[in-house]
Amino acid sequence: MDYLVSLIADPAAWLALATLTTMEVVLGIDNLIFISVLSNKLPEHLRSKARRIGIAAALVLRLGLLATIAIIIKLKAPVFEVLGKSFSWRDLILITGGLFLIWKATTEIHNSVDPEPGPDRLNPAVVATSLAAVIGQILLLDLIFSLDSIITAVGMTPHIPIMVIAVVIAVMTMLLAADPLANFVHANPTILMLALAFLLLIGTTLVADGFGAPVAKGYIYAAMAFSAFVEGLNMMARRARLRRNGHQPGSS
């Protein structure tokens, strides 16, 4: 109890909470984009359910990993070496998750641009298997993003209560933003392509990090923000053209 009281009275703890919460929310964007893209492939009445299950799983995984911080820290220890490069369990998890993201984003982009795409294994016509497939893929990526999130938290503060509060706030924010973001992506096909490009970028950076060549997240999120800004300008331009065409029926 004295520990919690001293923590509440410590301004540095509040600063750490604010900083870590912001960082966790930013890191959650990756996970949220993936959940939005996948859930939109389901029939409309199942989409919110898949998002809620995916985000609830993210919270459970993060809290579970916080309870095993000693093990998480050990995941960074080298387990084997190839051509002079040491690999830890964390590296292997990041490489696996990154390759999965690259494969998934590439497949979705191919299906979007191919005029005659092959059969989609997440075809909404097969409701039972598609829901299970979506949730399974969300759970896999939840594990990757949760591991990254917790390792970041451990590096920023030694206080478990601060980590727990930051994680809960970040996941609740994801829950509130999930449906609006997914609906926005679904209503704007060009946003979907941009989201898939983001997943491709994120997957590449995960693989690079796993091979010991991490890319500063600031560069990644700056590139994503700039791309989103440009797409926002494109959307404004398209709406302006539609308004002009609406007032000038004979124009092209």
Below-50 pLDDT ranges, the chain? 121-129, 248-252
Backbone angles phi and psi of 49, in degrees to 5: -60, -45
Residue type, 16: A
Backbone angles phi and psi of 85, in degrees to 5: -105, 120
Strands of 83-170 (E only): list them.
Answer: 85-88
Q: Tell me the domain boundaries of the chain.
A: 2-215
Angstrom distance (rounded) from CA 195 to CA 105:
9
Distances in Å between the Cα of 122 and the Cα atoms of 34, 35, 127, 129, 210 are 15, 14, 8, 8, 29
Q: What is the pLDDT of residue 4?
A: 61
Q: What is the pLDDT of residue 101?
A: 82
Q: What is the pLDDT of residue 24?
A: 77
Strands of 49-123 (E only): list them.
Answer: 78-82, 85-88
Angstrom distance (rounded) from CA 21 to CA 124:
36
